Amino acid sequence: MPELPDVTVYVERLAQRCVGQALRRLQLLDPFVLRTALPPIASAEGRAVVGVERLGKRVVLALDGELFLVIHLMIAGRLRWQAAAAKAPSRSALVRFDFDGGSLLLTEAGSRRRASLHLVEGRAALAALDAGGIDVLVCELPVFAERLRYENHTLKRALTDPRLFSGIGNAYSDEILHRARLSPLALSRALDDDGVRRLFEATRQVLNEWTARLRDDADRAGGWPDKVTAFHAQMAVHGRYGQPCPVCGSPVQRIVHAENQINYCARCQTGGKLLADRALSRLLRASWPKHIDELG
């Protein structure tokens, strides 16, 4: 799922292309992507884009007259930019937004349709779509600490809770926790002040560094982020199960739960302890290794 760095770059590049441009046509290529009935979607056509914003992991096109097109990419949704006369890919395209200077496509890979489009009127209606998480890039340490300790969750769950923090998902939470040298399963209220500070600093560092890196990638790709993915070779632990940790060289470990994985380095983050995977540790029971040094 595109997270804060990816969405930020989408927002910046869309602002360069769309602000001041009129939305000439909005074509629903899959009617089920639209999740609102009022105001009617046709009322967005002909209006100028006055701004592009990030709302958590959503991209917002602000139109004149206080109308807002809110795009949620979910897991497999992506935004493509193409020449105005180009034909949209028939299978993956869900929505086409036509401007004088080009067309924006909302696409989604696979057969499951999770990406969504809302059209709402007024700032109050837009705010109702906001889960309420704080922006970690502009908040201060005491505010971050208060949010982190608001409920007693694992650090992994707390970072990815959109009610607490805005725009952080599975991929960057792994990278943040590795940078902070903290266990993903440590409890938020048990974390001491030094741990909270390290987590705060790591969160800002990782998100800022990856936003800058993705900007550079978009520049090299011709100005548009065409390869948005949750897996990057430069990542420390996310998606790198079994590969060496770039800090200590130990093999990266993982916990698999439903559709998500937690990737971590046992030596850097848990003092060498291997965290129990619900499926494998129950299957292996006494044979489940407890420490990284027990692995062959």
Region 45-49: mean pLDDT is 98
- Fold match flag (4-127 vs 141-294): no
Domain regions of the chain by residue span: 4-127, 141-294
Torsion angle of the four alpha carbons 216, 219, 225, 226, in this order, in degrees rounded to the nearest 10: -120
Per-residue model confidence (pLDDT) at position 120 = 98
CATH class, domain 4-127, is: alpha beta
Cα 102 to Cα 68: distance, rounded to the nearest angstrom: 20
Q: Are 32 and 108 in contact (CB under 8 A)?
A: no
Identify the CA nearest to 164 among candidates 119, 131, 187: 131
pLDDT at 292 over 90: no
Q: What is the pLDDT of residues 169-226, one digit of tens each?
A: 999 999 999 999 999 999 999 999 999 999 999 999 999 999 999 999 999 999 999 8
Q: What's the fold here for domain 141-294? A: Helicase, Ruva Protein; domain 3 (1.10.8)
Using CA atoms, how far residue 156 sits from 161, 178, 184, 246, 278, in Å, is 9, 11, 5, 21, 16
pTM of the full predicted structure? Answer: 0.93
79-88, 90-99, 285-294: range with lowest mean pLDDT? 285-294
Q: What is the pLDDT of residues 112-157, one digit of tens each?
A: 889 999 999 999 999 999 999 999 999 999 999 999 999 999 999 9
Return the structure tokens found at 11: 């927002």
Q: Are 100 and 21 in contact (CB under 8 A)?
A: yes
Note the Cα 7 to chain centre separation in Å. 7
